[in-house]
Amino acid sequence: MSIVAGSTYKVELWVRSKTSFSLSVAFTSSDGTTVLAQSHLSVEASEEWSKRSVVVAATSTDHNARLALTSATRGVFWVDQVSALPTDTYKGHGFRKELATMIADLKPGFLRFPGGCYVEGQRMANAFRWRDSVGPYEERPGHYGDVWNYWTDDGFGYFEGLQLAEDLGTAPIWVFNNGVSHEQSVATELIGPFVQNVLDGIEFARGPVDSTWGAVRAEMGHPEPFQLQHVAVGNEDCNKPYYTSNYMEFYNAIKLKYPDIQIISNCDASIAPLDHPADLYDYHIYTNAKNLFAMRHQFDHSSRSGPKAFVSEYAVTGTDSGTGSLYAALAEAAFLIGIELNSDLVQMASYAPLFVNANDRRWNPDAIVFNSNQQYGTPSYWMQHFFKSSNGAHLIPSTVQADSSTSLASIITSAVRFHNASSGMEYLIVKAVNFGNTSLNVNLAVTGISASNIIPGESNIMVMTSSGVMDENSFTNPVKVAPQVSKATNAAPNMELVLPANSIVALELGLAPALSSRSESLTKFVDTFISTS
């Protein structure tokens, strides 16, 4: 574990002993020769377990430290449920500050949790069960995640997912087990207890403190209800036995008691209509870079009637991604621009997976890589920074004209009007992906505004590219592939732009107050026109 001089750590443990003794709680170097921090606990003789805690202040740093519990008293003592956490965590709720801040920096609109296949389990015995993941940590039994082959103590449980979403100021989306695992399915005539389990889970999140499960939430320190408005009925289960009939049992029960909750089906309605009601349908795609780039038009011709789309998992995988390449990020950005252009249908989208521990990789690639003391974003993480102003923005018509079919085939663009609530500024943001291996000079024409409507000092150009399309970030070079921002000194309604080979480019035009106040006319009359030369 990483111990840093000047930081404090709370060590908690359960202990019992037939004799009284003094327990030394220390952090030492990995070989045990150097004491980095130390404190003591007095333990009274008892046949019963007692919970003890102590805050330890570090005077030295070691990123590979270990926790040592020792006593100078001869005898036998038992310890259980030992934990050591920094006292300085994200908003005081136990989440590692640096990692949570990286999520917050993306300005997410939602948090989907606790996972996908993780929720199902390979077999039902190893599915995620929310009831076992709430309450005191020492009372959580934990479970074996047999899809990804690791044991979890469920320290990050249902409550923690809701809490993290609240701390991030974003909407929680709960993916619950619907009686389906990878290998097993519960028959519809037996699904009743699973339905009640989900209703209890919603009550835990939203119920009053005098309700059965609302009281449990209050005991955990959160008497106010969480703002749970979305639930997903399983993960990638559409074609598994009993899914549709079981889905209807969940749907009817939830809508009867919580009619405002938005219910997400696992079945894809982008090609054919669903045979059951849903507020949203789930869409997942993992593929190579060229295929995902080609899928930028995936939703162009999908039906606009029926449920909205939720692209809850997308990523470039395989050889094209490595452990997180620029090549992957380019294709993903193009796919997201396609989603942005279809935002009347696609309501939400999220890259997956979000995190990976560098010392225990079970999947490649991931957005954020970490170890005990370091973290970095892959190009796919940084790619999402180009879209963090898209949530709540207004889509502006955009047109691309190329001097050759080759140029046209490698470009996709979008334009949005974005209001920055904190600064009060209004921006016109034009994004483009050049998926080709040659740089392109383009002419940008914005109709409906004049030069006096643009503030050059509030206008920027953001570019992400690299010398090699397979370049990646690392602990030693965490921002090798990351957006570079510069002032758009030539900002004007008509201007030239360079789209470097294999790049994502965003032009952010700051708009004068007189124009930005005319939001309706801006949305209606402004058009962007890009041509290559």
Cα–Cα distance for residue pair 495/404, rounded to 1 Å: 20
Residues in the chain: 533
Nearest CA among 519, 516, 524 for reference residue 452: 516
The DSSP 8-state label assigned to residue 114 in this structure reads: S
Average pLDDT over residues 381-399: 92
At 121, the amino acid letter reads G
Cα–Cα distance for residue pair 502/329, rounded to 1 Å: 10
Q: β-pairing, 262-265 with 230-233? A: parallel
Strand partners, 19: none
The more confidently predicted of residues 387 and 393 is: 387
At 126, the amino acid letter reads N
* pLDDT tens sequence across 158-198: 999 999 999 999 999 999 999 999 999 999 999 999 999 99
Residue 162 buriedness (CB in 10 A; 0-12 / 13-18 / 19+):
buried
338-344 — which CB contacts under 8 Å span 24+ positions?
338/295, 338/296, 338/297, 338/298, 338/299, 338/300, 338/412, 339/299, 339/311, 340/387, 340/390, 340/395, 340/414, 340/416, 340/431, 341/300, 341/395, 341/414, 342/299, 342/300, 342/302, 343/390, 343/395, 344/304
CB neighbours of 168 closer than 8 A, spacing ≥ 6?
100, 103, 104, 108, 111
Residue extents of the structural domains in the chain: 8-86, 89-266, 394-532
Confidence at residue 379, expressed as pLDDT on a 0 to 100 scale: 99
CATH number attached to the domain at 394-532: 2.60.40.1180
pTM recorded for the entire structure: 0.94
The more confidently predicted of residues 467 and 516 is: 467
Average pLDDT over residues 482-491: 95
Q: Is 356 in contact with 318 (CB distance < 8 Å)?
A: no
Structure tokens at 86: 């920094």
* pLDDT tens sequence across 517-529: 444 434 334 455 5
Cα–Cα distance for residue pair 45/75, rounded to 1 Å: 11
Q: Is 400 in contact with 334 (CB distance < 8 Å)?
A: no
Q: What percent of the chain has pLDDT over 90?
A: 86
Q: Is 19 in contact with 45 (CB distance < 8 Å)?
A: yes
Q: How far is CA 443 from CA 402, 404, 498, in A?
A: 10, 15, 9
3-class secondary structure, 448: coil
* pLDDT tens sequence across 221-266: 999 999 999 999 999 999 999 999 999 999 999 999 999 999 999 9
Q: What percent of the chain has pLDDT over 70?
A: 95
Find the Cα–Cα–Cα–Cα dihedral 390, 394, 396, 402, rounded to 10°: 10
Confidence at residue 177, expressed as pLDDT on a 0 to 100 scale: 97
Q: Do domains 89-266 and 394-532 have the same CATH topology?
A: no
Cβ-based neighbour number of residue 437 at 10 Å:
9
3-class secondary structure, 296: helix
Nearest CA among 103, 212, 214, 237 for reference residue 165: 103
Catalytic annotation present for 496: no
- CATH architecture of the domain covering 89-266: Alpha-Beta Barrel (3.20)
Catalytic residue among 138, 139, 236, 508: 236
The DSSP 8-state label assigned to residue 153 in this structure reads: -
